[in-house]
Amino acid sequence: MRRLTSLLLAVWLCTIQVMAGQADMDQGLLDGGKDAAVAAAAQAETGAEGTVPAETGTGKESAALGVTARSALLMEASTGTVIYEKDADVRLRPASITKIMTLILIFDALAEGKIQLTDEVTTSAHAKSMGGSQVFLEEGEKQTVETLIKCIVVASGNDASVAMAEYICGSETEFVSQMNARAAGLGMSSTHFEDCCGLTDSETHLTSARDVAVMSRELVTKYPQIHTYSSIWMENITHVTAQGTKEFGLANTNKLLKQFDGCNGLKTGSTSLAKYCVSATAERGGVELIAVIMAAPDYKIRFSEAATLLNYGYANCKLYQDAEPPALEPVPVLNGVKEQVNCKYGEPFSYLSTSGEDFSGMERNLVFKEQIEAPIQEGDVLGSLEYTLNGKTVGHREVLAAEAVEEAGLMDYLGKVLDRFLV
């Protein structure tokens, strides 16, 4: 009996010691933990998660490339780096480039499971009444979501855009409200939408070349499947109405698909007030560029100046992407039911150079917070993989918790102590 009492007393004292000394747990397993800056500092220095901050441009004057359109901007898609700009924040009418945001909301709804590509959408009288570019949907006609996406992307169908807006939100008015909310969430401070297709003559339906590039980047990077549709040159759809069945041909309004090597989208727009606009995307050697032209004087200049921007980008851009980052080991946790937590990487890292830098000198360094303390939720930031080129930090990739770790309680500490005695 005396021996059992002594054992229990020893267990109790050891439990108290473990709880009191837990804060001093050895951090030696952390790669550079005590000697490195915390991940929060790295994040503050490099900006958006997984990328370097978007630059303000090369400072090239518009005359250097001979761009005559009222406004223009060239952006690299993976990093958001602006390579060239001309009056990129001037607010202008976007015409059918508006439909880029319409497509973002459609693909948002698909991703969230609210709609399916095979859903059938019934055309309303309001959708049928749209003028301008259209695919001539009849009131009561049914088409699948996927078919209507093709009608919007390839033929710039205003009727198809309104049909989808009503299907997703019940009314075009509510859909436009969500378009503006989505634009605000992307930081598109120069943008205000008043319809879902850009047909309006309203003086307050406006955006800018910079904002068009931002929403184009959101669409092509978050939903790269858009290129399945935006690269279609010609395709037929079938109208089934009370008058019978007939074929209708869709022809892509983006002539750069045939004129520029690597072009895979994205959207054109024109009205008498907006003049000629295009947001053109292209990919070569893993580098995807977005060229925005606003208010060009005619449709040929719209395409030729977009091609000029794209050629300039491919002549001057070089992209670093880390395909094989260092393997991650579990790291110690303070005050947790587990003593270690497994890690995973966040968004991939890309770095764009426009000055011909040699990427062979890119250095990588894993740094973690000095103390990683429970409770931990899956996805919590634990540290970062920092990238340095020629002595300059050029970006980072976040290291996240791959699992949750709950905070340890008294019984958990008691269990740990008993485990030590029973070993």
Q: Tell me the catalytic residues.
A: 96, 99, 156
- At 228, phi and psi to the nearest 5? -60, -35
Where are any strands of DSSP class E within 169-254? 234-241, 244-251
Strand partners, 336: 407
Gap between the Cα atoms of 300 and 276, Å rounded: 9
Nearest CA to 92 out of 248, 276, 223, 263 is that of: 276
The neighbour count for residue 390, using CB atoms within 10 Å, is: 10
Task: List, in order, residues 6 or more apart from 123 with CB less than 8 Å away.
Answer: 137, 138, 139, 140, 141, 142, 143, 159, 163
Q: What share of the chain is helix, strand, coil (3-state, %, to 5)?
A: 35, 25, 40
User: Tokens representing 6?
Assistant: 């002594």
Nearest CA to 150 out of 240, 223, 250, 225 is that of: 250
